[in-house]
Amino acid sequence: MTGRLEILAPDGIPEVQPGADLAALIGDALASDPRIGLLRDGDVLIVTQKVVSKAEGAVVDLTTIEPRPEAVAFAERFDRDPRQVEVVLREAVRVVRMERGVIITETHHGLICANGGIDASNVGAGTGDVVTLLPRDPDASAARIRAALLERFGVDVPVVVSDSFGRPWRWGIVDVAIGVSGLEPLEDLRGRADHDGRVMRSTVRAVADELASAAELALGKSTGRPVALVRGAEIVRGEGSVRDLLMPRETDLFP
Amino acid sequence: MTGRLEILAPDGIPEVQPGADLAALIGDALASDPRIGLLRDGDVLIVTQKVVSKAEGAVVDLTTIEPRPEAVAFAERFDRDPRQVEVVLREAVRVVRMERGVIITETHHGLICANGGIDASNVGAGTGDVVTLLPRDPDASAARIRAALLERFGVDVPVVVSDSFGRPWRWGIVDVAIGVSGLEPLEDLRGRADHDGRVMRSTVRAVADELASAAELALGKSTGRPVALVRGAEIVRGEGSVRDLLMPRETDLFP
C-alpha cells in the first residue's frame, strides 16, 4: 500500500563548528536513532542550510565588516545592523527590492530571497556578531554528504539542502531547497494522463521544495535538530541541480 | 521521542460529484484504512481543493461562457481556451499580471495565484468543458469537514484545504493552504529564544503551507487520492483563517 510517508528527525547532532565533518555527525545521528534503522531506497535526507554553512566555514564575523554608506543609511532608517546589511549587499549579484527594511537580493547561486540567505540566529557564537552565509555551492554540499553516506552505509540516499524563504503575497517563511544531489528537484507531469485520462498541462511539481517543507515540520525551529530523513516519497532519482528550480529573469513576471 | 511525522493518504474516495457528502466520503476512507486506526490529537487532515470544489458544485460548464473580447484576444495570442480566460477574469478582483500566456489574479478570497485557481484537469467530465473554481469560502469548507469528523469520530482534527500554486522566481508548483479550520496557520516564533538562547526575529512560519506541501508528497498528482492525514506535527490549535496567511497589498513588495 502506498500513500504513506514518514519523516524522522534524529537528535544527537552536536553544535557544528567550522571544519566539522558534518556527514560523519549526520551519519552518527542516523545510525543511533532506532526509529531509522538501515537507510533504504526511497529515503531522502534533508539538511538545513545553517549546519552546512557552519561546517563549511561560511560564516562572517561582523566585527571585521566596514559598512558602505548605503548600508549605514538603510540600517539607520530601519533599525538594522549596518554590518549585516553590508554583508547582504556583498553577497548579492543584484538587489531585487530594498525598501521598508526588507532587502531581497539575487545571490550568486541565482537564489532570490530576503537578506541573501544571511542569518544571525542559531549561529552559536552567542554574541550576535557572527552571521552565516549560504554555502558557496549547495549542490556540491549535498553531493558530499550523499557520497559520505553511500561510503559509510552502502545506500545512495538523495540529499536536499534546505533554507527558510519568505514568499511574495503570503506571510510566513517555508523551507525550500537550495541544493540537491541524487534527485530531480522538478517532477514534470506534463503530458502524463491524469486520473480521468485527460492529459495534464503545465504541471511541473517542485518536489525538492515540498520535501524541504515537509522535513521542517519534523525539525522544529529552535530544537537543535538540523536534519530529517523523509521515507517513502516517490521521488525521481537523477543528477538534478538547484538551478533546475530557478526561473531565469527573462521568464519571470516579477523581476 | 519527538521529531517524527507520518503522512497517510487513504485510498477509497470515489469520484466526487456535485452535492456529494465529502466529509462522509473522507470519514469512510479514514475509517477503512488500517494504517490510520483511530483519529487522535496531533492529527491534521489536508483536503485538496478540487474535491472540495466538486462537492460544493463550484464548477463551471464552459459551453455556457461567452468570452469578452479581451479574453478572446489573449487566448488567441497564447493558444488558450478563451472561455477559461473569461472565467479567470470573472473570478478576479484584480489582475496582477497578464502577459506571456500567464494570468495571475487576486481572487475575492485575497489569494494571488495563476488562473485564479481555476483548473481543468481531473474534473472528471472527460470532455474538457468543465472547470473547477476555488471554493467560495475555503475556511468554511474546512470547518464543515472538521465538524463532521468531530461528530462522527469524537476527535477534533484541524483541517487544511490545499491547492497547488506557482511562485515567482522558482519553477514548479507546490501545495499551499487556501482554507483552514482548527489551527493557527502561522506559527509566530518571534521573541522565543532559539537553541543558542538568542532571541529570534522575523521568524513567522507558514505551518499550514508546509502541511499542505508535506501532504502532497503522499498524495501523488494523478492517483485519485485527494486527502492525507498528517500525524505528529506540532501545530498550534486555534481558530485561524487563511486570511492570516495573506499579505495586504500595501505591505507586499510585489503588488
What Å distances lie between residue A214 and A87, B7, B206, B230, CA to CA?
Answer: 30, 10, 12, 10
pLDDT, position B220:
73
Chain centroid to Cα A38, Å, comes to 25
How distant is the Cα of A239 from the closest Cα of chain B, in angstroms? 17
pLDDT, position A251:
86
Choice among A164-168, A194-198, A207-211 with the minimum mean pLDDT = A194-198
How distant is the Cα of B151 from the closest Cα of chain A, in angstroms? 26
Instruction: Count the Cβ atoms, other than its own, within 10 Å of residue B12.
Output: 14
Q: Whole-model pTM?
A: 0.94
CB–CB of B152/B167 below 8 Å? no
- Could you say which of B3, B6, B126 has the minimum Cβ distance to residue A225? B3
Chain centroid to Cα A145, Å, comes to 14
Q: Which residue has the cell 475575492?
A: B108
ipTM: 0.94
Task: Give the list of residues 6+ apart from residue A203 with CB closer than 8 angstroms, or none.
Answer: A189, A190, B121, B164, B173, B221
Given pLDDT bands bounded at 50, 70 and 90, which one contains residue A120?
A: confident
Q: Which residue has the cell 537564489?
A: A111
Question: Chain B contacts of A214, Cβ < 8 Å?
Answer: 5, 7, 210, 213-214, 217
Between CA A157 and CA A45 the distance in angstroms is: 7
Span A1-27, average pLDDT: 92
Between CA B253 and CA B255 the distance in angstroms is: 6
Q: Does B198 contact chain A (CB < 8 Å)?
A: yes
pLDDT digits (tens, 9 = 90+) for B95-154: 999 999 999 999 999 999 999 999 886 555 555 689 999 999 999 999 999 999 999 999
pLDDT, position B30:
97
Average pLDDT, chain A: 91
Residue type present at position A221: K
- E strands, chain A, where? 4-8, 43-48, 59-61, 92-99, 102-107, 112-114, 130-132, 159-167, 170-181, 187-188, 204-205, 227-231
pLDDT digits (tens, 9 = 90+) for A21-54: 999 999 999 999 999 999 999 999 999 999 999 9
Given pLDDT bands bounded at 50, 70 and 90, which one contains residue A220?
A: confident
Instruction: Count the Cβ atoms, other than its own, within 10 Å of residue B196.
Output: 17
> Please, which residues bridge with residue B60 across strands?
B131
Q: Does A246 contact chain B (CB < 8 Å)?
A: yes
Domains and CATH numbers, chain A: 6-58+135-245 (3.30.1330.100), 60-132 (3.90.1660.10)
pLDDT, position B142:
98
- Helix crossing, A207-219 with B207-219: angle to 10°? 120
Question: Chain B contacts of A167, Cβ < 8 Å?
Answer: 167-168, 206
% of chain A beyond a pLDDT of 70: 90
pLDDT, position B122:
56
Rama region for A171: left / alpha / beta (φ>0; ψ in -120 to 50; rest): beta
Between CA A219 and CA A22 the distance in angstroms is: 17
Tell me if A4 and B9 make a contact (CB, 8 A cut-off). yes
Tell me the HSE value of B23 on the side-chain side, using a 13 A CA sphere. Answer: 16
Given pLDDT bands bounded at 50, 70 and 90, which one contains residue A163?
A: very high
pLDDT, position B4:
94
Span A208-234, average pLDDT: 90
For an interface test with B, the pick among A2, A169, A207, A252 (most B C-beta atoms closer than 10 Å) comes out as A169
Sign of the CA dihedral running B53, B56, B61, B64: negative
pLDDT, position B201:
47
Report whether pLDDT(A151) > 60.
Answer: yes
CB–CB of B238/B143 below 8 Å? no
CB–CB of B180/B160 below 8 Å? yes
pLDDT, position B97:
95
Q: Does A124 contact chain B (CB < 8 Å)?
A: yes
Q: Which residue has the cell 487532515?
A: B45
For A221-232, give the DSSP string.
SSSS--EEEEES
* Strand, helix or coil for residue A17: coil
Give the residues of chain B that fall short of pLDDT 70.
1, 121-128, 190-202, 221-223
Task: Give the list of residues 6+ apart from residue A34 with CB closer than 8 angstroms, or none.
Answer: none
What Å distances lie between residue B19 and A24, A218, B24, B54, B133, CA to CA?
Answer: 56, 37, 12, 8, 15
Question: The C-alpha cell of A16 is what?
Answer: 557544528
pLDDT, position B202:
56
